[in-house]
């Protein structure tokens, strides 16, 4: 049966002004894997960086456009105001100690929906959270085992995203009627929606409880956002097949929203539309994924170009800034040093 529902978050794309500092923070401090270094397909003279679990599985992928000349973002309504990673319930102290020792400012932990939340900003000012949730146990597949964080404490992909909106009903109706979310809880001005089943059937296996939460935070008096460095550019929802993506697209258009045609992003296929509250959404297919042009062990160790840009490699390498990438040798060394238990 063709589903009328997305399965959860596919990726979150944000904007950085400093690609090297970005790599250092997400790989060395947060322990994500750089799974792809490529260029922005719409502007090949700028980098597009992808982080995630060991394979960059949908539900774990945080990506950045490197736009050093963009204006600074201004927080406000109509944006993804927080991108939240899932951590195990017993790892809060580990992360707090880690942030203290690395002089990374944070707040918390504070309690929200029975979960513990640590809030922080990345070096560009992007709003991040680490959130504990029982589902972390089932998501150990989403750990980057060769990263610097011990497996027991490591990030397990996304927990959720939070949208800041003036009101919530029109956004909520797109979430529930077109994307398949169910309202599950409310705390003050925060409204939570989850994908728990698709067309009445529980999502099983790896898909169950994976990055399937979105919160709407109603902030009626805040200014509108200006998207720039330190902002999320868009959030993408995942769908397993091209057929289901077409059904979702048709329903979105029927709901009166403008949607792009399907765009081939090489690692997935994409449809973009703006939800009524102003946040840019994307529907992205799970396949083909990041191993389509690199072996799993080589992911993120060099600049990769889509085939139609390969002939421009020499020119692009001249204009793209040099970056120090995580070394394959370091990964292999960690692998040797880590005792399997
Ligand atoms: Zn995207």
CATH of the domain at 29: 3.10.180.10
Residue 2 lies in a domain: no
Separation CA 281–CA 272 (nearest Å) = 6
Residue 256: which region, alpha, beta or left (left: phi > 0; alpha: psi -120 to 50)?
A: left
Residue 136 lies in a domain: yes
Q: Give pLDDT tens digits along the chain (341 positions).
A: 677 899 999 999 999 999 999 999 999 999 999 999 999 988 999 999 999 999 999 999 999 999 999 999 999 999 999 999 999 999 999 999 999 999 999 999 999 999 999 999 999 999 999 999 888 888 888 999 999 999 999 999 999 999 999 989 999 999 999 999 999 999 999 999 999 877 777 776 767 678 999 999 999 877 999 999 999 999 999 999 999 999 999 999 999 999 999 999 999 999 999 999 999 999 999 999 999 999 999 999 999 999 999 999 999 999 999 999 987 656 555 555 554 43
Question: What is the pLDDT, as a whole number, of residue 332?
Answer: 53
Interval between CA 9 and ligand 1 midpoint (Å): 11
Question: What is the pLDDT, as a whole number, of residue 3?
Answer: 76
Question: What is the pLDDT, as a whole number, of residue 336?
Answer: 55
Interval between CA 236 and ligand 1 midpoint (Å): 6
pTM of the model: 0.94
Residue 4 lies in a domain: no
* Contact present, 326 and 32 (Cβ < 8 Å): no
Interval between CA 183 and ligand 1 midpoint (Å): 25
pLDDT tens column, 260-306: 999 999 999 999 999 999 999 999 999 999 999 999 999 999 999 99
Question: What is the pLDDT, as a whole number, of residue 163?
Answer: 98
The encoded tokens of residue 205 equal 């296996």
Interval between CA 144 and ligand 1 midpoint (Å): 22
Interval between CA 102 and ligand 1 midpoint (Å): 30
Interval between CA 13 and ligand 1 midpoint (Å): 6
Interval between CA 8 and ligand 1 midpoint (Å): 14
Interval between CA 189 and ligand 1 midpoint (Å): 28
Interval between CA 234 and ligand 1 midpoint (Å): 6
Residue 117 lies in a domain: yes
* Contact present, 211 and 159 (Cβ < 8 Å): yes
Interval between CA 127 and ligand 1 midpoint (Å): 18
The encoded tokens of residue 86 equal 């899932």
Domain of residue 254 covers: 9-340
Interval between CA 101 and ligand 1 midpoint (Å): 33
Question: What is the pLDDT, as a whole number, of residue 241?
Answer: 94
79-87 vs 232-239, strand pairing mode: unpaired
Number of structural domains the chain divides into: 1
Interval between CA 130 and ligand 1 midpoint (Å): 22
Interval between CA 145 and ligand 1 midpoint (Å): 25
* Contact present, 220 and 167 (Cβ < 8 Å): yes
Separation CA 193–CA 178 (nearest Å) = 13
Residue 1 lies in a domain: no
Separation CA 32–CA 46 (nearest Å) = 22
Give CA angle at 161 (160, 164), nearest 5°. Answer: 145
The set of residues, in sequence order, having a beta carbon less than 8 Å from that of 336 and lying 6+ positions away, is none
Interval between CA 232 and ligand 1 midpoint (Å): 10
Interval between CA 52 and ligand 1 midpoint (Å): 14
């Amino acid at each position: 049966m063709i589903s009328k529902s997305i399965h959860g978050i596919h990726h979150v794309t944000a904007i950085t002004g400093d690609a090297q500092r970005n790599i250092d923070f997400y790989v060395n401090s947060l322990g994500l894997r750089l799974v792809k270094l490529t260029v922005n397909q719409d502007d090949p003279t700028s980098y597009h960086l992808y982080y995630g679990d060991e394979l960059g599985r949908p539900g774990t992928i945080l990506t950045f456009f490197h736009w050093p000349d963009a204006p600074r973002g201004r927080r406000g309504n109509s944006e993804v105001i927080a991108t939240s990673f899932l951590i195990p319930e017993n790892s809060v102290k580990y992360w707090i100690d880690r942030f203290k020792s690395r002089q990374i400012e944070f707040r918390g932990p504070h309690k929200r929906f029975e979960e513990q939340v640590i809030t922080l900003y990345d070096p560009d000012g992007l709003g991040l959270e680490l959130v504990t949730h029982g589902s972390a146990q089932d998501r150990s597949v989403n750990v980057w085992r060769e990263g610097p964080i011990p497996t027991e404490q490591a990030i397990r992909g996304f927990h959720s995203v939070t949208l800041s909106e003036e009101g919530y009903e029109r956004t909520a109706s797109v979430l529930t009627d077109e994307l398949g979310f169910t309202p599950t809880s409310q705390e003050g001005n925060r409204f939570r929606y989850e994908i728990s089943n698709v067309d009445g059937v529980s999502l099983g296996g790896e898909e169950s409880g994976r990055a399937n939460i979105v919160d709407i935070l109603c902030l009626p008096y805040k200014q509108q956002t200006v998207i720039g460095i330190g902002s999320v550019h868009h959030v993408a929802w995942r769908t397993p097949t091209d057929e289901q993506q077409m059904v979702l697209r048709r329903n979105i258009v029927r709901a009166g929203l403008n949607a792009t045609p399907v765009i081939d992003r090489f690692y997935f296929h994409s449809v973009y539309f703006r939800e009524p509250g102003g946040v840019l959404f994307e529907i992205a297919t799970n396949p083909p994924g990041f191993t389509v042009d690199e072996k799993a062990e080589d992911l993120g160790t060099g600049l990769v170009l889509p085939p139609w840009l390969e002939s421009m490699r020499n020119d692009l390498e001249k204009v793209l800034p040099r970056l120090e990438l995580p070394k394959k040798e370091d990964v292999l060394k960690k692998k040797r040093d880590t005792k399997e238990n």
